[in-house]
Structure formats: C-alpha cells, structure tokens
Amino acid sequence: MGDFRGHVIPGTFFFLIGLGNLLLLLHRARTLENLRSSFPEINEKVLRFQGSIIAAMCIFGDLFEGLGGVRFHAGFFFQSAHLALYTIFLLPAVSMILESHSRLPIETSRKCFAISFLCEFLLFLQHGLMKSGAAKTFHVVLASIALLTSLTLTYSVQHPRSVFPQITIPALLVLQGLWFYTIALTFLGVHISNENVLPILIFEIFLIGFQILLISSKTRDSETESSISFAHARAGLNSKNKNGGRSVVEPMYETVSTGHVRIKSEDGLI
C-alpha cells in the first residue's frame, strides 16, 4: 500500500461501493413511492451481488499485497496491516451472502461492516501516528472517516427507517475513495503541504455534498409534509378555515382510488 497502486486499489474499492449504493438510492427514489420502504435491505439479489463483489475485491487486495511481498522476498505476510484491512471486510461480504439466503438475521451485514470500519480506524490511526507532517495528517483523517462510517452504520442499525444515515454511509465511502486517490497523487510527485491537507478534505466533502443536494432536489416531491410549500398550504388552511372554532389542518394522508388510506410520505434522497 506504500505506493501509488497500493492506494489506488483500496480507493477504487471504497469509491465503487459508495457510488454504487448512491446510484441505487437514486434509482429507488425515482421508482418507489416511499424510499423508506427499501430500508433495511431485504432484496436478496442486491445483497448477493454486493457481497460477491466485495468478497472478490478483498481477495484481490489480499493477493496483490501478499504476492507483492513474496515478489520482493519479504514473505506473503510482509504487509500484514494491509492484508488485515482487506481481510476484515470479508466478514461483512460473507455475511451479506449468507443473509441473502436467510442464513443470518436481517442487518447482520451492517453490524459486520460497523466492526470492519472500526478495525480500519484502528489500523490507520496506528499507521498515521507512525508518520510525520502531511503524511500523518492524511492517515489520521483517513482513520477519522473510517470511525465516522462505523458510528453511522451503528446508528443506521438502531434507526433502520432513517434516510439520513442511508445517504451518509455511501457518501463517506465515496469520500474515503477520493481521499485514497488524493494520497496516491503524492506518490506521483504532487506536493501537498500539511497546511493544505484539511482544506482539500473540505473541498472534497463539499463536492460530494453538493452533488447529493442536486440529485435530491431533482427526485423530491415538493408536496411532502416536510416541504415549505406543504407548510404554507397548511398555514393557509389554518387562517382561512374554521370549523366550530377549531383550525382545519390538511391531513397528512390521502384516499386512493381503491379506498385505502395512504400516508403522505417523503420520497427524495433527503
């Protein structure tokens, strides 16, 4: 991992997983009446596909690092920390596959991911503290992103219907991928001073957040209950309509043609 390719490979690993899940959220926001109905993940094909892809990436990473050590006559386990990083993510990958076959409870894979990112935090924190200057800051930031991802995953397990962590988790994976790419650039001769490390991080966070906001604005129904237009419409009814001295508020439900009552729900990424 201590070279350009060694940072690009794990960066691509995290970037593709994060981007894939953000695109899946976008697709569901456009096609589902209620995005929250897709949480927690119970689609067997999605779990099986993602678990297989992550497992393949982890095995590739282990072989890349291990055989690299053998090539330079240092032994397969020469880069033990790098091998540990890829290996620990086999845990959630396998759990996703087992979960898709109903061999494990729903959300087991998310719990395993939380453990894996916590382990990643410990690995990169130790790795960063061994360095100095910009390299130290780069890896401490990387550890912090991993810790935040672990905590967000833990929160999402406790609040499976909350949309915010479902968006934040893949966004953090994309951010981690970009951060790996940023570190990789330093091995190509790009000089980044310690003073510029955090500003670069902020710009990358802004880039990801801005894209999510744009996508959300395109997929959101403006008539949902947390929108300003809905609040104005309800306030207008309060001021104009009275029924026995009581305010009349537009109900947060509607009757569909079948006669069933349907709750007005959120349907955007945010």
In the prediction, which pLDDT does 220 show? Answer: 64
> Is the distance from CB of 167 to CB of 211 less than 8 angstroms?
no
d(CA 225, CA 77): 56
Q: Where are the domains of the chain?
A: 4-219, 228-263
**What distance, in Å, lies between the first and last C-alpha atoms of the chain?**
36
Q: Are 29 and 268 in contact (CB under 8 A)?
A: yes
Answer for the pair 124, 143: CB distance below 8 angstroms, yes or no. Answer: yes
Spans of the chain, pLDDT less than 50: 247-250, 252-256, 259-267
Stated pTM of the model: 0.82
Peptide bond into 199 cis (omega under 30): no
Q: Tokens 């401490």, residue?
A: 140
The reported pLDDT for the residue numbered 229 is 73
- On average, the pLDDT of the chain sits at 86
The pLDDT of residue 48 is: 97
Q: Are 110 and 157 in contact (CB under 8 A)?
A: yes
Residues 74 and 264: their CA atoms lie apart, in Å, by: 62
Could you read off the pLDDT of 36-72 as tens digits, one per residue?
888 889 999 999 999 999 999 999 999 999 998 898 8
What's the sign of the alpha-carbon dihedral 97, 16, 6, 134? negative
pLDDT, position 79: 86
Q: What is the model's pLDDT at position 243?
A: 55
